[in-house]
Amino acid sequence: MTTLKELAALLNISVSTVSKALNDSHEISENTRVRVKELATKLNYKPNRIAQQLKTNKSKTIGVILPTVTNPFFAEVLHGIEMAATNSDYDIIVCLSNETLHKEKRSLELLSNGSVDGFIMAVARESQVKKNTDHIKATIESKLPVLMFDRVVNSIECNKVIVDDFQSVYDATEHLIVKEQRKNILLVSNIEELSVGKLRIQGYTKALEDYNLKPEILKLDHAVDFDVEKKICDYLKANRSIDAILSIDHVTGIVAINMAKKLGIDIPKKLSIVGFGYEHTQLLSSPRISIIHQKAHKIGEMSAQLLIDNINNEDLKPRTIVVPSELKLSDSVK
Amino acid sequence: MTTLKELAALLNISVSTVSKALNDSHEISENTRVRVKELATKLNYKPNRIAQQLKTNKSKTIGVILPTVTNPFFAEVLHGIEMAATNSDYDIIVCLSNETLHKEKRSLELLSNGSVDGFIMAVARESQVKKNTDHIKATIESKLPVLMFDRVVNSIECNKVIVDDFQSVYDATEHLIVKEQRKNILLVSNIEELSVGKLRIQGYTKALEDYNLKPEILKLDHAVDFDVEKKICDYLKANRSIDAILSIDHVTGIVAINMAKKLGIDIPKKLSIVGFGYEHTQLLSSPRISIIHQKAHKIGEMSAQLLIDNINNEDLKPRTIVVPSELKLSDSVK
DNA sequence: TTGTATGCGTTATCAC
DNA sequence: GTGATAACGCATACAA
């Protein structure tokens, strides 16, 4: 890599003159400025980022700690973060906690050494379940701003970007009751221990309460693959009166459609199905599933923007931004 | 952040003594070593990474440039990269090209300033279509190692980790012909312009040739959503003799299953369907789709490992590693 | 207009 | 066993 020193040597001038010339200082003569820039271009000079960072004590980098990236929600959030960060000239360092507390903690600590100017994170499942978030508090106390999205810790005061988990499920449930005239709505859950899961279940329960209906919840308890299919299938077989299913994740709704079809249940006439989903979820089932579409991309963008604002102005009061979801109905019931 | 200087001042000793003590130099007395370490722990001292990087001229960071991360394949590769990198004490900076040439080029250039010690990338669709890869060559010439995975540029000599695109599709096709006795196998394609798409189509074509069968290809031409469904549905309606469908991506196979069911075609008795897929793809259709499962996670791990080897030993000859895929049959035809 | 000196935080060399 | 000094590459206050 070409350095200022090398340029200076070749041009027989001092390093500082070269530096100033490249930074368009008015102190430097037109002549040398041009000479310097020409040589710099020719040798493909690029200021060493590390040196600049050491000098300014800013890394212009954001640490992004995600539970996983194979979950499409987080993947899309990451996309949003990357776009917004790039726009503001920030790099992102990505760490995956794999839902574990120790990896989350480790990542936070490893990057808290000047590597990043702040963090964007969604709390790992384990940290949330064990209510162990001291590492996050410690990071904030060390003056490194942290922004949480989606899965947040209420007791920690910092910027947050969250989804309207309660409201979106309430609205979807209400839609099923009022617009589609459903009375026996089953909620299928496999994330009841997460903060978001709890909120979604609350939204469902409240809506049923408000309309004097009885809640009915099928907890899958982290079942995988065939178990998911079997549990849903068995439940549908044993409870024929169910006329709507509300899945609070992005997979079990589709599984429910497939199982219902297998049992010969007429969708959408006899059974409505709503799940959570992403850009292409609706393409994966026929008839199409109705989805609560979280604006994951937007969540990412806003998170990055808010954190960067916070980095550039430490005195800003912490804010919590709610990004509303959108209910996208299957065409059949539109 | 606590610095060596601060520790030194508090202990009334020199900076270099502190540094040596923390690095367990044998020059330092047991006594001071302990005193220094105690204070360091107490003040939560962490060596400033930026300063270390400047000193060693190594960033211990890998630049990862992906076309997108919402495609599950790339998400899983990223997961693999992150794990392997973390294991070797490397950070990763992630950039998304969004399949565009200019963003890919920009990312490569922006990070080629000391920010990273090397790159892992899958070439953007646009770069591949326009055959414009000078920016990649330039990076390699500037002594920054680049590793390409999945989508590679043949004319560039560097480490590569690829999938057995040709062979896996050949094998799957052969399986359909020999084991499932299929004769009219339709290939559904929406990525024929990518290097991987071409290879997959070649594998299919060659297999049919070898068994004296006629290739039949439905190009979707980047259709989205309803168009995909419609095109596949129409084709199936007009060509009732088709007894197997081979999708070379991870979505259209599932769409094909749904359409065939809609048309009342008996799966898997009258029609076999094979697609590409990831961990949870098979859960998304009923009956389950057979998939060619690319070991995306492994691709990521191997890529990171190979690049890091290359970073630590520039003289290693470039290698190309082929990661074999696995044909996962739907249970019904197992 | 140009050059010199200093410092960012760390480590390594050398002297005491 | 400890400390002073230089160096990584850059930016800037200050001197000429």
Tens of pLDDT, residue by residue over B22-52, are 999 999 999 999 999 999 999 999 999 999 9
Asked if strand D contacts B37 at the CB level, meaning under 7 A, the answer is: no
Same fold, A58-162+296-323 and A165-293: yes
Closest listed residue to residue B126, CA positions, set B147, B105, B95? B105
Stated pTM of the model: 0.90
Residues of chain B with pLDDT under 70: 223-226, 332-334
pLDDT, position A250: 85
Percent composition of chain B: helix, strand, coil (DSSP 3-state, to 5): 45, 15, 35
Lookup: nucleotide whose C1' is closest to B31 CA: D1
A334 confidence band (pLDDT: 50, 70, 90): very low
B254 touches chain A (CB under 8 A): yes
Q: Which CATH class is domain A165-293?
A: alpha beta
Q: How far in angstroms lies nucleotide C12's C1' from the CA of residue A198?
A: 56
Architecture (CATH level 2) of domain B58-162+296-323: 3-Layer(aba) Sandwich (3.40)
Q: Where are the domains of chain B?
A: 4-47, 58-162+296-323, 165-293
From chain B, the residues in CB contact with A278 under 8 A are 70
Residue A199 to residue A167: CA distance in whole angstroms:
9
Give the single-character DSSP code of B255.
H
Picking from A76, A83, A284, the nearest residue to B254 by CB comes out as A284
Using one digit for the tens of pLDDT, what is the confidence trace for A264-322?
Answer: 999 889 999 999 988 777 877 878 889 999 999 999 999 999 999 999 998 899 999 99
- Backbone dihedral region for residue B328 (phi beyond 0: left; psi -120 to 50: alpha; all else: beta): beta
CB B19 within 8 A of CB B47: no
What mean pLDDT is predicted for residues A84-99? 97
pLDDT tens digit sequence for B154-171: 999 999 999 999 999 999
CA distance B68 to B282: 22
Q: Are B93 and B63 in contact (CB under 8 A)?
A: yes
Res. A226 pLDDT band, cuts 50 70 90: low
Q: For testing the chain B interface, which of A1, A50, A119, A291 should be mutated: the one with the most B CBs within 10 Å?
A: A50
* Torsion from C-alpha of B171, B177, B183, B187, nearest 10 degrees: -20
* Confidence at residue B196, expressed as pLDDT on a 0 to 100 scale: 87
Q: Which of A56, A68, A71, A91 to mutate to test the interface with B (most CBs of B within 10 A)?
A: A91
